[in-house]
Structure 1
Amino acid sequence: MAELSKEQQRDFEAAAFRRLVKHLRERTDVQNIDLMNLAGFCRNCLSNWYREAAEETGVALTKDESREIVYGMPYAEWQAKHQTEASDAKKAQFEASRPKDH
């Protein structure tokens, strides 16, 4: 494996994060409950992790601000445009595998 400097690692991780966010913004057909059921995290989790990282460096972000960074628009607007009602089966699957911190 190539030896990466701390700066290279940070830059590559940041680039991967930006690509993931771009991908999730483009895949509005993939609902958060689908992500949670398959991967154990969703756009909201990602925005929470972003906010927590900012707070660790002394930068205060609200939940709404960090969600807008991930969603590319206010969360309520994304919900109105793209969120669909989850089926009972998806809701049951989520409840059965729901992480303790959600």
Structure 2
Amino acid sequence: MLKNERAFTLIEMMIVLLIISILLLVTIPNVTKNNTVAQNKGCEALVNLIEAQVQAYEIEHEKKPDNLEVLREEGYIKTYTCPNGDVLQLSENGEVQGPNE
């Protein structure tokens, strides 16, 4: 007695793997490109947050902080390092600056 089994053939499986491989080759470069954009946007958001915390510090202490480490020590911020690895600094006039500014 023969059974009528339905299954994928080797050719069908190879075609599916080929299609999946092509999709991966197309999507991976786009994901890495968008990762850089997301890190830069995260750095911009961190700069805005730290600028707001500098103002909050200034209101409470009636002076600007000497550096960003003071804000971190007093609990205003947790970090001043961007997602892309850039370390932010506080300028003489109290503005937050990245390494290339």
TM-score, structure 2 as length reference: 0.36
Larger radius of gyration: 2
- Kindly indicate which of the two structures has a greater share of residues assigned to helix: 1
